[in-house]
Every structure is written in C-alpha cells, then in structure tokens.
Amino acid sequence: MVPQPSAYPRLFAVGLCALFVLPPIPRYLSAQETEDPNRTCLMCHGDPENFAAREDHDRLIVTREQYEESVHGGFGMSCTSCHADFVFPHPEEYAPVECARCHRGLVQQYEESVHGYALARGNERAPSCTSCHGAHDIRRSQDPESGTTHAHIAETCNECHSSGGLLTDEYLKLPSPSEQFARSVHGEAGEAGDMEAATCTDCHGIHDLKGHNDPDSRIHRLNVTSTCGACHTDVAEQYDRSIHGRALQAGIPDSPTCTDCHGEHLIRHPDDPDAGTHAAHMAADVCGDCHDDPVIVAKYSLQDDVVHSYTDSYHGWATARDHGHSATCISCHSAHLVLPAADPASTVSEENVVATCRQCHEGATREFSLSYDHVAASAATNRGKRIVTAIYIGLIIVVIGGMALHNALILNYYLVEKRRRDRMERGVVRFDRIQIAQHMTLALTFILLVLTGFALRYPEALWVKWTGIAFLSEPARSWTHRIAGVGLILFSVVHVLYIFFARRGRDEFMAMVPNFRDLTDFAQNMGFHTWRTRRKPRFGRYDYTQKAEYWALVWGTALMAITGLVLWFPVVATSWAPAWIVSISETIHFYEAWLATLAIVIWHFFFVMAHPDVYPMSWIWLTGKMPEHEIQAVHGRWYEEEVADLLDSLPPGELTVDPSGRTKDRQESHA
C-alpha cells in the first residue's frame, strides 16, 4: 500500500525522531551479518582471551571451527536457534537451553530415566544432555570423534562411573563398573576395535536408562535374557527353554539369569582362569551358589550334597588340578539348556544319559552311567557308601591308633633307658633349678601364646577345634593370650635379674656372647656334613646354633612384648605415636609369631630331639644334667678345656658337678 502525500510530513517527523531517540541498529543486522548470523556471537565467544579470567571459561568459548564441525553447525543453525530470545548485549546469566524444543521425545525419555529422576530431585551431579553429548561441539553418534559413538561411549560413561564411584546427595556410593567393564570380554573386544562388541548403551539403553528394579528396565531380572539375547540369540533361546529360564518367567526370583553366572560388567571368557564360569570355579562358585545353599535346597526340595559329591570325585579332583579335559557341571547338564532328569529332552534323562557319558567315555553303557551320578557319589544318599565309610573310619582309628600306641611304647622305652644311662653317668649341671623354672615358664607361655594367637587368625582350622580353643568365648581366649603375654614379660624380667645377680647367670650370659670362632665353627660344621672335610668341629660351652637361638629369643621377645602392648592399649599408643603404629604392630606381631613358631619346630626341636647325638630326646630341660658322653660328642672343646678336670675331681659316689664350683650328689639308687 503506497502512503498518501498528506502522510509524508508525519513519516518524516517520525523518522527524524528515530535518529535521535532509538538506539543504534545492532551490527548483526548488516547485510554481511545477515549472511552469517553467528558472526556477532563468535566475535566474542570465539576468542579465548575474552574469558581467560573466568573459572567457567570452557563453557563460554566457542570457536568457529568447533561449531561448524558440530551437528548443529552442519545444519546451518544459528546460535539463537538454541539460545532463543537473546537480546544483544545479553546478561551474564541466562536460562539453560531447552533441548526439548527440537528433541521432545528424547528429552521425555531422559526425564523418565534414572539420570533425569536424579536431576529433577536437585542432584547437581546428575548428568544432563550436555554431560554426554557436549555443548557446542555436539556430533552425530556415527561420527568417530563423537563422545557417544560406539567406540567412545564407555569413556563417556566412565566420566561419572569411574573407579572413584558416583556419590549421591545422600552420600551413598553408586556402582563404579568402568574398570570391571574394561577388563571384560566386551571391553577388551571394543578396545581392540570390534564395533560389534557390547558397550554400556547396548545393555542399559541410551536416554531411557532405568534401575534394575524397574520392570521396564533392560537389566531387570526378567529382561536380562532378552537384553543379552540381542547379541547372543541362540544362547538366549536355550536359556528360555531351560528349567532356569522357565522358573524365572514363572515368577521365581531365586532362579539364576545370565548375570548370576557370568557377572554383570566383569564378564570373562570361560577359558579365563579368573572367570566365574571357568571349570575350576564352576561347581563351588557358580552352580554352588544355589545348589550348595541349604536355604535354597530346602526351599525348592533340590537334591542335597550335589556340589560336594562332585568336588569329592575324580572329576572334581582332576578339575581342581586344572585338568582342562575333566568333566564339569556343564559337561553333563549343558551350559544353558539345563533341564531336570525327568524331562525327556534333558542331557541326563534316562533316554540321553548314556550318550552324554559317551562324550568322554567311549563305549559307555547304561550300567556305566549309573556307576556315577550324584546319588551314587554322595554318602548322604548312598547307603552302601555310608556303611563302608563308617567301617573304614573305625578301622583307621583302631589300626592307626594301635600302631601309634605301639610305637609310643617303644619310644618311651628308649626315653626311659636314656634317662637311666644319663643318671648313672658322670656329668655336669647344665641347667640349675632357676634355669629349669625359666625354661618351663618360657615353654608354657610360648605354647599358650601360639595356640591362642593363631586361633584368632585361623578360627576354622581343625587343630583349633581339636584343642578346644574354638569353644572358648572371645573374651576368654583374648585374656588367656594376654595373661600368657604377661607371663612371658615376667620371665624376661626374671632372666635379666638372674644375669645381674647370680654368678652362674653371668657366666652363662658371657658364654652366649657371639665371637669370631662361631663363624669358623659354622664353616667347619657345614664342611664336615657335606663331606668336604673329615674333621668334625669341637664346640665350646655353647655352639653357634644355641647362641643364634638365644639371641633370636631375646630379639623376638622384645619385639612381641612391644607390639603386643601396642595392640593391647592402642589408645595409649596412639596418644604418643603416629596412627600407623597400630597396623604396623599388628603385622609385625603376626609374622614374628610365625617366625618364632617355625624356628622352634624346625631348629630347636631338631637339636634337642632329632639330632643323632641326643636322640630320642635330651633330658636336660627336666633334669638339668648333661652326661659326659653327650658333652664329648657335642661340646668337645668345652669338655677338654673345663669339664674333664672337673669330672676327674669328683669325690667317690658323686656323679654330677656344677661348673660354677658346687657339686651335686647324684648317687643312683637302682630298683
């Protein structure tokens, strides 16, 4: 419509006012900027220097290359297509972009997902659209550079579901499966470039992720088979036909599904020794989870003792030895199409069991198939096996017990005869009464400490039950251990006082001080017992083995006493020492106990019982006397330098002399 001439003066006046009243026309309305609607935005946001001082600079920087390579830039969309209703210059803060303006259906799926639910509850850690897709660099999921492409989706999910775990507003830790997935067959295959390997979204969904308790979730127990079946079609069909699949569909939640046997994220190949479905773990760790659970066995009237009847058979023993060709559960029952024996289609049904056995045992017959099954192998269901087992257990007790008694009588004879010969022979006082009492105290406290200490660490050990310690309450066990520890400390105090205030104690201590001669004695002793020299070493009052044991006892007692007191009074200990002293003391206490126990069994018992010069046992620990022949055999240098003259000076009728100068009347009275 063309204006009338009378209107021109008015239009001119309005235009003149506009020149002075209206603000300048924004630059983006120029012809050049009409062709490039993003030019004005990128003039600021494309220069990183403009936002360098801001903490959130990353979200404000948008380079032209970045945007043009994005999916939105590829469509030629302007900045204001997403950042709608912006007026330049725009404010510092603005409402977030509404992706639903274009992606309404996907946003609705997201809002109904676990991520959307968490965000709606105000959880700031919950992922939004940009958390996965990016903000200005959004790419198609088919783009190799996209964070949502098949090859990168695990990395994207890993940003939240990493090893550190995802923390909710309630400070609850959510699963952190990324490391497990990376070590699984799926993760390793994807890392190797297999685009067919399952990744996070294949199982959990993309925008519609739901929790495992949601009936609509792909990982709900009733839906796991169909989720896995998207790739493993044949296996899923077999499972659905199996007793496990039918039971699950019938509403029995205890029935296993794919993830119960294979795991959820750490799914490994059955040939992997660490896989739960590996032959070595299958019976006890996979099938046994249900078939060895007394609650489930009783609840569903399952056959009892099936796991033990397998593990206690040749098949189970061979499998435990990692014999790759030995039969496992799936060898007979199949892996996924597991059916009860009453089902004609079952691999262990009456019609098919012989063929199943012939997979390994060529020429197997019906009778052969009956020779081994869970009924025949289990003592609980095989009456004949129970009777034979009972007979042999009784026979072992009678026969082996009789043998042990027989040999004990013979050993006792030689022990008694050796003591008689020792008493009738000249000798010296090796231990006085105080030393014998110290040794008795040490032996008693040490044995109590070992038994009550290891009973805490190994409560299921058979010896714990045989000794009766298993039936002690924990307070009784712990106080017995502490009382024995106090006894060991008191023994140490008495021993130190004996050294300081008794002449014999000082003499014994000085004889225990190591010297260079001990090194040469060790070399000569090893040379003699390896046939490199014919000369047997002649030891002094105490040889290098006894000195080593004595000083090891000193060191070990001090260490055990200190760490034991720290563990007894941790509050006091941490009031003057760092917190790590408790855990370090616990470790030292445990391993020092092992070191001391093994040293007594392997070192001490050999020299006082098994050594040919003292066999079957040295009686010194009870009588205190060391006979002359034993001194000559074991401590030849001491005999020549000190003992021989003392024994020759014995008055008539006296058989024992104390090296400290006092003699003991040990006349024998024969029965």
What are the pLDDT digits (tens) for 456-498? Answer: 999 989 899 888 888 889 999 999 999 999 999 999 999 999 9
Can you tell me the mean pLDDT for 137-162?
A: 87
Residue 552 clears pLDDT 90, i.e. is over it: yes
Please check the confidence at residue 223 and state whether its pLDDT lies above 70.
Answer: yes
Region 355-365: mean pLDDT is 92
pLDDT of 79 reads 85
Percent of the chain past pLDDT 70, that is, above it, reads: 92
Query: Which segment of 372-381, 499-508, 514-523, 605-614 scores lowest on mean pLDDT?
Result: 372-381
Least confident of 5-9, 454-458, 521-525: 5-9
Collect all residues with Cβ–Cβ distance below 8 Å to 184 and sequence separation of at least 6: 263, 265, 266, 267, 268
Q: What is the mean pLDDT of residues 389-418?
A: 96
Other beta carbons within 10 angstroms of residue 285's beta carbon come to 15
Query: What's the CA angle centered on 145, arms 139 and 150, to 5 degrees?
Result: 90
Task: Note the pLDDT of residue 105.
Answer: 92
| Mean pLDDT computed over 142-171 | 81
pLDDT tens digit string along 72-85?
888 888 888 888 77
For 152-158, which contacts have Cβ atoms below 8 Å and span 24 or more sequence positions? 153/199, 153/200, 153/201, 154/178, 154/181, 154/182, 154/187, 154/190, 154/199, 154/200, 156/132, 157/200
Task: With a cut of 70, say whether residue 519 has pLDDT above it.
Answer: yes
Instruction: Decide if 320 contacts 307 (C-beta within 8 A).
Output: no
What's the chain's average pLDDT? 87
pLDDT higher than threshold 90 for residue 222: yes
Sign of CA pseudo-dihedral 264, 266, 272, 276 = negative
What is the pLDDT, as a whole number, of residue 338?
Answer: 95
Give the count of beta carbons closer than 10 Å to the beta carbon of residue 3. 9
> Percent of the chain having pLDDT more than 90?
58
Exposed/middle/buried for 419, CB within 10 Å: 0-12, 13-18, 19+? Answer: middle
Averaged pLDDT, 309-330: 86
Q: What is the pTM of this model?
A: 0.72
pLDDT tens across 225-281, in order?
Answer: 999 999 999 999 999 999 999 999 999 999 999 999 999 999 999 999 889 899 888
Give the distance, in angstroms, between the CA of residue 261 and the centroid of all CA atoms in the same chain. Answer: 20
What does the alpha-carbon distance between residue 267 and residue 275 come to, in Å, rounded to a whole number? 7
Split at pLDDT 50, 70, 90, the class of 19 is very low
pLDDT, residue 665, reads 44
Structure tokens at 32: 């050049």
Q: What angle do CA 317, 321, 323 make, to 5 degrees?
A: 95
Q: What distance in Å separates the CA atoms of residue 255 and residue 299, rounded to the nearest whole number?
A: 12
Q: Which amino acid is at 106?
A: L
Would the pLDDT of 70 be above 90? no
Report, as an integer, the average pLDDT of 542-554: 96
Task: Please give the pLDDT value at position 165.
Answer: 64
pLDDT score of 130 more than 60:
yes
Report the candidate in 260, 344, 255 with the shortest Cα–Cα distance to residue 300. Answer: 255
Q: Is the pLDDT of residue 22 over 60?
A: no
CATH class of 425-664: mainly alpha
Residue 164: the pLDDT is: 66
In this prediction, residue 3 has a pLDDT band, given cuts at 50, 70 and 90, of very low
In the chain, CATH 1.20.950.20 sits at 425-664
Count of residues for the chain?
671
For range 25-35, the mean pLDDT: 46
- Torsion of Cα atoms, 540 then 544 then 546 then 548, to 10°: 150
pLDDT at 5: 46
pLDDT digits (tens, 9 = 90+) for 646-669: 999 888 888 888 887 544 444 333
* Average pLDDT of span 411-435: 94
Q: What is the mean pLDDT of residues 597-622?
A: 94
Block residue for tokens 């000369």: 535
Handedness of CA 324, 329, 331, 332 (dihedral sign): positive
Count the neighbouring beta carbons within 10 Å of the beta carbon of residue 79. Answer: 19
Q: What is the pLDDT of residue 490?
A: 95
Residue 59 · residue 49 · CB < 8 Å: no
> pLDDT at residue 101 above 90?
no
